[in-house]
Amino acid sequence: MLALLSSCTSTEVITANSTPPVQLKTVLTDAERLDIVVTPFDPNLTALADANNGEIPVSAEVRRAESRYLAFHLKDTLEQTGNWGIVRVVPAAAAHHALIVTGKILESDGEKLQVQVNARDASGKLWIDKIYEDTASKYGYQSLKEDPFQDLYNNIANDLISRYQAYPQVHIRDLRQITQIAFAADLAPTAFDGYLQTDPRGNVSILKLPAANDAILTRVERIRRQDDLLVDTLDDYYFKFYRDVKPSYDEWRYATYDEAVRLRQMKKQARNRLFTGAALIAGGIYAGSQSETWAADAASAGAVVGGITAVKSGLDRLKQTEIHEQALQELTQSLSREVTPNVLDIEGTTIELKGSAEQQYGQWRSLLEQLYQEDRGPQTSSADSL
Amino acid sequence: MPDPSDSSSSEGPLIDSVTMQTGSQESNANAGDQAQSPSETNDRAATGDGSETTPSIGQPDDSSSEEASGQTMAGPSPTALEEALLNAGASLQVAGEALKAAGALSDDTDAQTNGDMQGSVADKVQDLDAALNDASIAILLVEQAMIEAEARGDSAGEDVGQAARLLVLANEALQNATAALGENPAAMPGEILVLGGANQDEDDRIAAIDAKLDASIAIFESDVQAARDAVAETLSGPAAVAAAGPSLADLDEGLGQGGMLSEQEAAGSDDTEENLEDPTISGNAPSATNQQPGAGAIPDDIPSPQGDDIVAKQLREAATFEQDPELRAKLWEEYKRYKEGL
């Protein structure tokens, strides 16, 4: 998107700005706001071999960094709209998250970004499942007031809010209850057995609600606050990663933008010229074989020569593309070296935090089970309410 | 820190001594393997060097007593916290004594047949329960004092923090020993057993499990908060400035400055200029990455950032990175007012 601003000096200042994301005018209450978790995007490493046979070289390390970078940037975009509750990046989604956004990187370099985004809520409803693509403009790199692919993130945000508005508030309320019960059921499965039902298609519905003063639920809510604290902490580490990687990653995108554009152009020209040249040669040879006059012979010879020239030009172009390919590879390798420590750091931290949390949750499950058994005593069914 | 009693008993798996040490220690895990999860988590934070430690149960550790008696509070010592620690230590000592006394009577074969002595056992059990409850309460007070000390920005010292964590472990160890005295071979690991058979009230059992749950939650919260403080310290340190290059210098202004559209404006307005020049929300988390933090630490009376929504988060970050002291103070004031309203 280009915005043209003209001043009294008749100087044209062309700035590149994204399509702004929609911000709801109505003020949402806390109960109406939906919390979102975004997981690191799938770096799509299995497709790297094919990707590296294509135009732009791809690095596994860069993709791993991008998987977290893109996720955090999407989280930040969603948060900035103010349309949602708490938006966090987490290593993995769970059944008690109200709305889960996942993504997969299909293509990513300085010029193009293509991701497949999927959003599903706690009841199993699919909000979006779509491929988003954006191409950066050179103006976007000349004045980096925003991410060169901010359009892509804004489009995702707009699609999500559109889906939100399409659902009745009762569904949003149900989601909050489902997440509460799902979390409780994970920690105290015996106590909350039969409260939720999942059909074969994965849709979750509420069968019954726990009592407001349910003793086990009260304790579960205490634990949930700890889970929220853990999520906040993990998000802070992702923010640190984002901040540390950003300068190098932006520089890489800026540097590879021109190379990527030229490389694509050159390959296209090379293909065209080779094709044209081959066609001319073939046509000239055929015409020569059919000609009966000197002029016709000369014309066909000219076509052949023209064709050979075109082929030669196409081959020269291919050679030049190698230079750009090499430049891109070097740039990508340089970025890989810079971001790998950050990637290892965030991977190690999230594994450690998650691991210790899982251990603790195991103990809590046991304690809650004991409490539940003590509470119900010799009764065969727990006291619960519909 | 008061010396724990380290007298030993040859009668059954009693806790002979509750040792309180600072620094790394190695001990053997015994009954109550459920306690290993929080203890491992706790010990990672306590030792700080990744070595795993577990509470010492039934293992007299005479060598530690000298260390315990010789340990001092390093650095500035908040009075309320020290007092809470001392009280908790004393409560645990009393609980240890009560446990020893109850255990001695419980193992006495005469006590199991003599009706009068059964009454003494029951009295001792009651005393033990009361002592354990007092110890649990004292430990909760320690945790509260630590939270308040951290909120004030007091430097409690590493030793104090480790001592507090060890207190929680000691409390768990006492409870596990209480369970072990029940000698119920059919009991599941980690299950709170009934001392003296079916005499213990159901409420007491639930209270014991609750105390264990509370203690583990407190430890987990402490550890996670410590991890969060560590990353917050990194984020508020010298920030990574954007790489050189005139076009990249604009990154200082952050992302998402293109402005927001309301629903109605997005529906039909072409006035993109106006919208772009009037962002609804200015600044975001990543925009702070290229700013230097304001001078001075976070004021003592600033609440924890836990549960901050987007507005609170932006206020907090704006205050953190504001260079002008007057404006920074106003931003912190605004943050506090907003948090109170949440």
Mean pLDDT for the stretch of residues B203-220: 90
Q: How many CB pairs under 8 A join A and B?
A: 194
Residue A220 has pLDDT above 60, yes or no: yes
For residue B187, is pLDDT > 70? no
A230/B6 Cα distance (integer angstroms): 39
- Output the pLDDT for position A66: 93
Q: Specify whether the backbone of B246 is left (phi greater than 0), alpha (psi in -120 to 50) or beta.
A: alpha
Task: Specify the pTM.
Answer: 0.58
* pLDDT over 50 at B185, yes or no: no
- The residue among B84 and B178 whose pLDDT is bigger is B84
CB B141 within 8 A of CB B88: yes
Whether residue A217 is predicted with pLDDT greater than 80 in this model: the reply is yes
Whether B77 has a pLDDT exceeding 70, the answer reads no
Interface predicted TM-score of the whole assembly (ipTM), two decimals: 0.77
Looking at residue B331, what is its pLDDT? 84
Mean per-residue pLDDT for B115-123? Answer: 64
Is the pLDDT reported for residue B184 higher than 70?
no
Q: Is the confidence at residue A231, as pLDDT, over 90?
A: yes
| Cα–Cα distance, A255 to A347 (Å, whole number) | 27
Bridge-based pairing state of the strands A99-108 and A2-6:
unpaired
Name the most confidently modeled range: A113-117, A250-254, A288-292, B224-228: A113-117
Confidence of residue B132 (pLDDT cuts 50, 70, 90): confident
CA of A264, closest CA in chain B: separation in Å? 24
Neighbouring C-beta atoms of residue A253, cutoff 10 Å: 25
* HSE-up (13 A, CA, CB side) for residue A187: 29
| Beta strands per DSSP E along chain A | 2-6, 12-16, 22-23, 36-38, 87-89, 99-108, 112-121, 126-135, 196-198, 204-206
* pLDDT tens digits, B24-60: 344 444 443 443 333 433 333 334 343 433 333 333 3
**Domain extents in chain A:** 2-257+348-376, 258-340
Q: How many whole angstroms separate alpha carbon B342 and alpha carbon B311?
A: 11
Task: Copy the structure tokens of residue A114.
Answer: 């293509």
- The SS3 of residue A117 is strand
Q: Provide the shortest C-alpha distance from residue B45 to chain A (in Å).
A: 12
Say whether A243 and B286 touch across the interface (CB within 8 A): yes
CA distance linking residue A181 with residue A179, whole number of Å:
5
Instruction: Please report the pLDDT score of residue A53 as a whole number.
Output: 57
Amino acid at B316: R
- Residue A286, pLDDT above cutoff 50: yes
d(C-alpha B316, C-alpha A239), whole Å: 15
The residue ranges of every structural domain in chain B are 33-235, 242-281, 293-342
Over residues A39-84, the pLDDT tens digits come to 999 999 887 655 555 556 678 888 999 999 999 999 999 999 999 9
Chain A CB contacts of B234 under 8 Å are 240
Q: How far is CA A47 from CA A54, A107, B13, in A?
A: 11, 10, 60
- pLDDT per residue over A179-214, tens digit each? 999 999 999 999 999 999 999 999 999 999 998 889
Mean pLDDT computed over every residue of chain B: 60
Nearest chain A Cα to B267, which residue? A22
Measure CB to CB from residue A86 to each of B209, B289, B309 and give the nearest one. B309
CB-CB under 8 Å, B275 with A20: yes
Per cent of chain A over pLDDT 90 is 46
Looking at residue B119, its pLDDT comes to 65
Please provide the DSSP assignment of A36-96 as one string: EEEPPPB--GGGHHHHHTSSS---HHHHHHHHHHHHHHHHHHHHHHT-SS-EEE-SS--TT
Instruction: Write the CB contacts of B201 (distance below 8 Å, at least 6 apart in sequence).
Output: none
Share of chain A above pLDDT 70, in %: 78
Asked if the model's pLDDT at residue B66 lies above 80, the reply is no
Mean pLDDT of A105-134: 94
Cβ-contact B35, B172 below 8 angstroms: yes
The verdict on a CB contact (< 8 Å) between A21 and B41 is no
The reply to whether residue A247 touches residue B243, judged by beta carbons under 8 angstroms, is: yes
Task: Pull the structure tokens for residue B281.
Answer: 């929300």
- Beta carbons of B248 and A23 less than 8 Å apart: no
Looking at the predicted structure, is the pLDDT value of residue A169 above 80?
Answer: yes
8 Å CB contact of A143 and B247: yes
Q: Report chain B residues whose CB lies below 8 A from the CB of A14.
A: none
Kindly list the residues from chain B whose CB atom is less than 8 angstroms away from the CB atom of residue A142.
247
Those residues with Cβ within 8 angstroms of residue A135's Cβ, 6 or more apart along the chain or in another chain: A111, A112
What is the model's pLDDT at position A335? 85
Give bridge partners of residue A112 from the DSSP assignment: A135
Residues in chain B: 342
pLDDT above 90: percentage of residues in chain B: 4
- The yes-or-no verdict on residue B65 having pLDDT over 60 is no
Nearest by CB to B253, from A145, A368, A374: name it. A145
Looking at the complex, report in whole angstroms how far the Cα of residue B198 sits from the nearest Cα belonging to chain A.
13
Question: Do residues A34 and A98 touch, judged by C-beta distance below 8 A?
Answer: yes
Yes or no, beta carbons of A145 and B257 under 8 Å apart = yes
Q: Is pLDDT of B18 > 70?
A: no
Which position has the higher pLDDT, B328 or B269?
A: B328
pLDDT in tens, B252-268: 343 333 344 444 344 44
pLDDT tens for each residue of B79-101:
787 888 888 888 888 888 887 78
**Shortest CA distance from B193: residue in chain A:** A370
DSSP E strand stretches across B270-323: none
- CB < 8 Å to B255, chain A: 73, 76, 145-147, 150
Contacts of B332 (CB under 8 A, 6+ apart): B298, B299, B302, B319
The residue that leads in pLDDT, B54 or A148, is A148
DSSP string, B113-133: H-HHHHHHHHHHHHHHHHHHH
Nearest chain A alpha carbon to B207: A371
Contacts of B232 in chain A (CB under 8 A): 236
